[in-house]
Amino acid sequence: DTEVTQTPKHLVMGMTNKKSLKCEQHMGHRAMYWYKQKAKKPPELMFVYSYEKLSINESVPSRFSPECPNSSLLNLHLHALQPEDSALYLCASSQEGGGKTEAFFGQGTRLTVV
Amino acid sequence: AQSVTQPDIHITVSEGASLELRCNYSYGATPYLFWYVQSPGQGLQLLLKYFSGDTLVQGIKGFEAEFKRSQSSFNLRKPSVHWSDAAEYFCAVGARDQVFNKFYFGSGTKLNVKP
């Protein structure tokens, strides 16, 4: 199984809502990532989890709150978002160890903030 | 600092024609290099990767790429383009940390295929 599964595929939320994005992989990868991708732009790294611990936060606003409950799951909790946060949110995973490994990406969640 | 440059924002080729997408990287050590493809509204699919060894690497869907250290390039090629190849293509470098890789992406090249 080389899949990264993201749910939901689409999400529309108001600026006062609280919602969560979910990501799951069963490849035994211990590094998991959240990327944000605006239209016509490359993916931008938001967070990296390694062995269920937050390793990198790329100065992401606190209205985005990541969580890694176990080695297979990665969540992104959303609260009080702004319309400019509308984007495609991509989850990825890779083997740990900084070695010869690629990132496997999910299909993304298309988020619209109204 | 590591960076990836894709000089071509848009490329249009005719179906059946050959294709080359350019990628230049900046990285202090031996790079791990990747090409990903993205269809509209979809995630990224890995086309091919280079870690070491043979500088010409083969990927899926008939794509290949050549690593040229002297030119800091990793260009993607396909001998005959199909209409289904129309998509956005991203070159990426994996910057190695002790416990994971940080993946840095170029700005992408959008490929249009003319019938």
Contacts of A40 in chain B (CB under 8 A): 108
Q: Measured at the alpha carbon of residue B20, what is the angle toward residues B14 and B26, in degrees to the nearest 5?
A: 150
Query: Could you tell me which of B4, B21, B13 has the C-alpha nearest to residue B89?
Result: B21
Confidence check: pLDDT of A107 > 70: yes
A55 touches B at CB < 8 Å: yes
Whether the CB of A101 is below 8 Å from some CB of chain B: the reply is yes
Q: How far is A110 from chain B (nearest CA, A)?
A: 8
pLDDT at B28 (0 to 100): 74
Q: Measured between alpha carbons, how far is B8 from B49 in angstroms, rounded to an integer?
A: 20
Using one digit for the tens of pLDDT, what is the confidence trace for B56-73?
Answer: 999 999 999 999 999 999
Q: Check CB contact under 8 Å for A105 and B36.
A: yes
Does the pLDDT value for residue B42 go beyond 90? no
Residue A13 reports pLDDT greater than 70 = yes
Asked if B103 reaches chain A (Cβ–Cβ under 8 Å), the answer is yes
Q: Which of A40-44, A97-101, B2-6 has the least mean pLDDT?
A: A97-101
Average predicted confidence (pLDDT) for chain B: 92
Q: Give Dmax over CA atoms of chain B in angstroms.
A: 47
Separation in Å, CA of A2 to nearest CA in chain B: 11
Give pLDDT tens digits for B3-19. 899 999 999 999 999 99
pLDDT value of residue A2? 67
- What pLDDT band is residue A56 in, cutting at 50, 70 and 90? confident
Residue B100, pLDDT > 90, answer no
Residue with tokens 């350019």: B22
- Cα distances from B64 to residues A97, A100, B31, B73, B86, in angstroms, run 27, 19, 17, 13, 16
CA distance A86 to chain B (A): 13
